[in-house]
Amino acid sequence: MSKTLFERIAAKEIPANLVYEDEHVIAFRDLHPQAPTHILIVPRKPIPRIAEATPADHAVLGHLLLKAAEVAAKVGLSNGYRLVINNGPDGGESVPHLHCHILGGRAMSWPPG
């Protein structure tokens, strides 16, 4: 089975504008930003999507969300931000590797679309 785009970025096979990394997650700026600040935070473990996460992924999922908040603070999103996880084609998923979008730098509207 071939690696996903995000696995290749995490393995440094493809360059990315890194914001944060540790042994469990990597965060980098989105190539097609949907807000002034648009960062993807991705677990290194290849979980295809949130609907396929298992109880064994509990620690990875918690780490992902805690680090998303830390990354948002690090890049100065003190006035607020939105976290988005897409699941499946109708949810807007384009890469089959769980990831969280950190969107900020402007006021967000609701509903999101």
pLDDT in tens, 58-73: 999 999 999 999 999 9
Instruction: Of 49, 29, 45, 27, give the one whose Cα is nearest residue 37.
Output: 29
99 is annotated as an active-site residue: yes
Task: State the pLDDT at residue 74.
Answer: 97
Please report, for the domain that includes residue 86, its CATH number: 3.30.428.10
99, part of any domain: yes
Q: Please say if the pLDDT value at position 113 is more than 80.
A: no
pTM (predicted TM-score): 0.94
Active-site option among 24, 58, 99, 101: 99
How many domains would you assign to the chain? 1
Residue-wise pLDDT tens digits, 18-41: 999 999 999 999 999 999 999 999
**Phi and psi at residue 32, in whole multiples of 5°?**
-125, 70
